[in-house]
Amino acid sequence: MLALPGAIMRSRQVEKAPRPFFQCAHMECTEPAILRRDIKGIELKLCKTHDLFYVQQESDEFCRVEGLDTVEQKRDWMLAKLASPRPTPAEHWAKVLKTPGLIHQAYEMANHFFARHTYSAPEPDSAWSSNSSEPALGEAPDPDEQAAFVAWLNQTAREEPEPPEFAFP
């Protein structure tokens, strides 16, 4: 008998236990909490709607501090932000490590990134130490060679998968 692909796929599906219900920190709310957010030093479990409520509060505060009052000002700020160079994955993860109050998985992912990066990066010293044209101590490094090395570093960093976006407070 010929089994249809759909039947095969259904037979392979694992029955998932329903997720446990977590009460949203807003007691009048009946929606399940989907994440935890640090609100003024207190970790709150929040549903999607109430998470967005706090995101909006943070955004409003950011715009107030930055002096972004009108839609035109906010649009110009965004356009300038988009036009500025994007951080490399290494810069992104370094910023994650320096930012307090993120979920612990963010720090784990950052540490994994730097662990991978160290292991995968070739040792420049071993390639150069036997090179007789290596600059003597005190001599300024060749700017072309330096630029090529920086370009190579950036290229290596950009080949890493895109890091997920985290909201920096």
Interaction of residue 26 with Zn ion, rule CB under 5 A:
yes
Q: How far is the first Cα of the chain from the last one, in angstroms, to the nearest whole number?
A: 59
Look at the alpha carbons of 106, 107, 111, 112 in this order and tell me if their dihedral is positive or negative: negative
Interaction of residue 63 with Zn ion, rule CB under 5 A:
no
Q: In the complex, what is the shortest distance from the CB of residue 60 to Zn ion, in angstroms, rounded to a whole number?
A: 19
Q: In the complex, what is the shortest distance from the CB of residue 27 to Zn ion, in angstroms, rounded to a whole number?
A: 9
Q: In the complex, what is the shortest distance from the CB of residue 65 to Zn ion, in angstroms, rounded to a whole number?
A: 27
Interaction of residue 24 with Zn ion, rule CB under 5 A:
yes
Q: In the complex, what is the shortest distance from the CB of residue 30 to Zn ion, in angstroms, rounded to a whole number?
A: 8
Q: How many Å apart are CA 106 and CA 165, to the nearest integer? A: 10
Residue 42 pairs in a beta bridge with 39
By C-beta, is 47 or 96 nearer to Zn ion? Answer: 47
3-state secondary structure 25-79: CCCCCCCECCEEEEECCEEEEECHHHHHHHHHHHHHHHHHHHCCCCHHHHHHHHH
Interaction of residue 110 with Zn ion, rule CB under 5 A:
no
The binder of Zn ion chosen from 47, 68, 90, 96 (CB under 5 A): 47
Chain positions contacting Zn ion, by CB under 5 A: 24, 26, 29, 31, 47, 50
